[in-house]
Structure 1
Amino acid sequence: MVKKRLLLLLFMLLAIFYFSHTPSLKVLDPSTWINPGSSRDGVKFVDILRPGSEFYSPWDYGIDAEFFVRKLAHFSFFGILACLFAWNLRYRYVVAWVLTTLYALSDEFHQAYTMGRDGRIMDVGIDSLGAIVFLCGLYVVHVQITKKQQSK
């Protein structure tokens, strides 16, 4: 039980939080993965939630290979996080999805404060979708394993 919770926390902090706090991260360029931890000055929580802020606008960078890899990373990292939540919550899938989506929202708020990054509500949608897809896959696998164990 402790190992499952530790794995969840390590994934949240070392994988997701670390990369979210890495300024000007380019997924396809490992030299940018080093995290000096710079924060933007003058960003206020109220400004993030203000209608018309960049938090609610579409992405302002080009749609290229970096864009697709970055969105795939969002999708898969939060899908894995949802599975870790479900595993820790004894396969309560809806609760795992809600917690993952809330963590995704907090992660995007965090990115709004990070130099060279931006938080976007659209990324929360991608994260939440990744969580649903991975949880559906986990559900199918879990049901098959349970049926196999019961038939023995």
Structure 2
Amino acid sequence: MHVFIRWLPSLLWMAVIFYLSSRTGEDVGGWLDIVRRFVPMMEGFDWGHFAAYFILAWTYLWAWRPKRLSLGVKLAVILLCVLYGVTDEYHQSFVPGRTPDLKDIRNDAIGAALAMLLLYIPFVRRWYGRLSGAKYY
């Protein structure tokens, strides 16, 4: 049961991503336009994918709860996020008004990678260690 509880945030967040992928582009596009207005140089960058997979990476790490935050663990988390991103794009191919896009997978990977890169900052690493109950020195 303990393992299921650790994976519950990941499963719920994957369900949120699946739900948002089921919406047409018009349904989810409105609030992202506000972000693009404030950061015009990031016009082609999809902040929704970035944020969703940034969070997904943290939930995967929480579920996995490795004894050490090695490079291999971080790369595995990023790979899991990218693989889920590929299935997300495949799912979008069946939604009217949505199409699969390699740039979305790129943005998914950037979000997941940045989430894992933050663990190189000492206070983030300590914060995560306290939150997860694991020791990372």
Q: Same fold (TM over 0.5)?
A: yes
CA deviations over 1:40-89 (Å, ceiling 9, x no partner): xxxxxxxxxxxxxxxxxxxxxxxx64x95981111011011011111211
Instruction: Give the match for residue 69 of structure 2.
Output: none
Q: Which moved more, 1:67-76 or 1:134-143?
A: 67-76
Instruction: Give the match for residue 86 of structure 1.
Output: 61
The answer as to whether partners of 2:45 and 2:107 remain within 8 angstroms in 1 is: no
Cα root mean square deviation, aligned:
2.8
Deviation at 1:120, TM superposition (A): 0.3
Structure showing greater Rg? 1
Instruction: Give the match for residue 142 of structure 1.
Output: 125
Q: Structure 2: any 5+ residue segments left out of the alignment?
A: 67-72
Q: Structure 1: any 5+ residue segments left out of the alignment?
A: 30-63
* Aligned counterpart in structure 1 of residue 30 of structure 2, from 14, 19, 28: 28
Instruction: Give the match for residue 5 of structure 2.
Output: 3
The TM-score, its normalising length taken from structure 2, stands at: 0.70
- 1:54-73 equivalent positions in 2, closer than 5 A: 65=37, 68=43, 71-73=46-48
Counterpart CA distance in 1 for 2:120 and 2:9 is 20
The answer as to whether partners of 2:20 and 2:28 remain within 8 angstroms in 1 is: no
Instruction: Give the match for residue 18 of structure 1.
Output: 19
Deviation at 1:136, TM superposition (A): 1.2
- 1:28-47 equivalent positions in 2, closer than 5 A: 28=30
Instruction: Give the match for residue 101 of structure 1.
Output: 82
Residue-pair matches, total: 113
% identical equivalent positions: 27
Q: Higher helix fraction: Structure 1 or Structure 2?
A: 2
Instruction: Give the match for residue 70 of structure 2.
Output: none
The answer as to whether partners of 2:74 and 2:116 remain within 8 angstroms in 1 is: yes
SS of equivalent to 2:97: coil
The answer as to whether partners of 2:23 and 2:95 remain within 8 angstroms in 1 is: yes
Gap change, CA 1:4 and 1:68, over 3 Å in 2:
farther
